[in-house]
Each structure stands twice: as C-alpha cells, then as structure tokens.
Amino acid sequence: MRPPLSPRQRQLLAFIERYIQERGFPPSYEEMRTALKVSSLNGIAEMIAALERKGYIRRQPGKSRAINLQQATTAPPDPLPPSRTCETLPILGAGTAENPLVALLRPRGLISVDSEFFALTGQAWVAALVPDDTMAQEGIRQGDVAIIEQNNQPNNGALVYGFAGEQPFLRRYVESGASFELQSSRRGIAPLRNDGKTPLAIIGIVRGILRRL
C-alpha cells in the first residue's frame, strides 16, 4: 500500500490525471504551477518528487513532460473521520418527588446521542423532555430534549431536572444558606423552595439540550 498524500499532493495528482485524460500527454511544470496557484516552480518540483517517491508517478530523466502515471494512481480520498459511537438513553416518563424512580422504570421512549459529543462517562445518563418555558431566557424551550447526568447532589448554579410533587421541572439550582431553591430564568415566576411545603426530588444535572427543528 502506497503512502498517503497531503491535500496539495492529491490536488496535483488529480490535475495531472485529468490533463492526461483530456489531452493525451502530461502538463508542463508551468501549467501545474498556474493550476494550483503555486508561487514558484520549485514548489511544483518538490510535489512531483514526492509523488514519484510515494509511487504515484514515474519520470523519465531528460525528457520534457515526461511523467507517467503508475497503475491505479487515482488520487486517494481524504481519510474517513474516526467512527463515533452512540448511546441509547431512556426518555424519562411521568414521576413524582416521592417516587422519582417511576420515571426511570416507565420511560416514554428512547433517544440515541453521540457519546463523544456529550462525554457520556461516569454516572448513568438519561434524557427528558423540557416540561415548560421557565428557562426560555437561557434559550431552553418546552419540548426540547435535555441530556441529564444522574446526580442528586448538584453544585451551586447547576441546571437540574427533577420533580416538584407530581410536576417535572428544569431549573437553576441555587444554594440559600443551609437550604436551596430552584430558580427560573423568566421574571415573575417564583422559585421552588426546599421548605417542606412541596416535596422536591432532583434527578440529575442537565449537560446538554437537543432541539428538533
């Protein structure tokens, strides 16, 4: 197997092949320089030498336009990007703060996401539909899909998903003394407070948002 070519070497080889197919003889160095917009003939000479060294062409010393294509010289395509893996995550179903596991056990569906893009390592991961527009000021809308790392001990300021009573929420976790509250980004919407009046359960930390256009 011959060594791979640089992008410019592939470009030059493709030009030589096309030129020979159309005219029956190879291009001159000046024609190659003009076609590739190279500033000097030395640059072309270096690329020609590289093509010969890698086995794509053969030159005949002492002859003008003496470039012979080696068999199966078609310029190789750019290498394919490394394969990526997808993870299938459950989309949380209905649940309650008293029994949040029900949402995990009865998912409303599945979604595949790029594990490299979201760095799906460590904790267990789930997805959930954004339930409302309380975080619309941060560009998060009802119906978006949140990618969630399961963790019920978020850091201050984290975006979290969970349940307040029977209602799902997606809000900003803000510590308040020895307690915390869950804040919306929209004005006029009261925070959810951990004051015992409404049971709260945090499922995890939101690490990404997907949206169907």
Does the domain at 7-69 match CATH 3.40.50.720? Answer given as: no
Residue 75 binned pLDDT confidence (cut-offs 50, 70, 90): low
Section 41-68 average pLDDT: 83
| CATH 1.10.10.10, the chain: domain bounds | 7-69
Tokens representing residue 153 in the block: 């001990």
| CATH 2.10.109.10, the chain: domain bounds | 86-210
25-49, pLDDT tens digit by residue? 888 888 898 888 888 888 888 999 8
- d(CA 93, CA 70) in angstroms, rounded, equals 62
- d(CA 169, CA 178) in angstroms, rounded, equals 22
Q: DSSP code of 44?
A: H
Predicted confidence at residue 63, as pLDDT, reads 63
- Helix 29-36 crosses helix 41-53 at what angle (to 10 degrees)? 100
Residue 133 binned pLDDT confidence (cut-offs 50, 70, 90): very high
Contacts made by residues 72-80, CB under 8 angstroms, sequence distance 24+: 73/13, 73/17, 74/17, 75/5, 75/10, 75/11, 75/13, 75/14, 75/17, 76/4, 76/5, 76/10, 78/7, 78/10, 79/4
Residue type, 206: V
Model confidence, pTM: 0.60
162-211, pLDDT tens digit by residue? 999 999 999 999 998 889 999 999 989 999 999 888 999 999 999 999 98
- Helix and strand numbers, DSSP H then E, in the chain: 4, 11
Superfamily designation of domain 86-210: Umud Fragment, subunit A (2.10.109.10)
4-32, pLDDT tens digit by residue? 888 889 899 988 888 888 888 888 888 89
- Helix 7-23 crosses helix 29-36 at what angle (to 10 degrees)? 120
Section 117-143 average pLDDT: 88
190-202, pLDDT tens digit by residue? 999 998 889 999 9
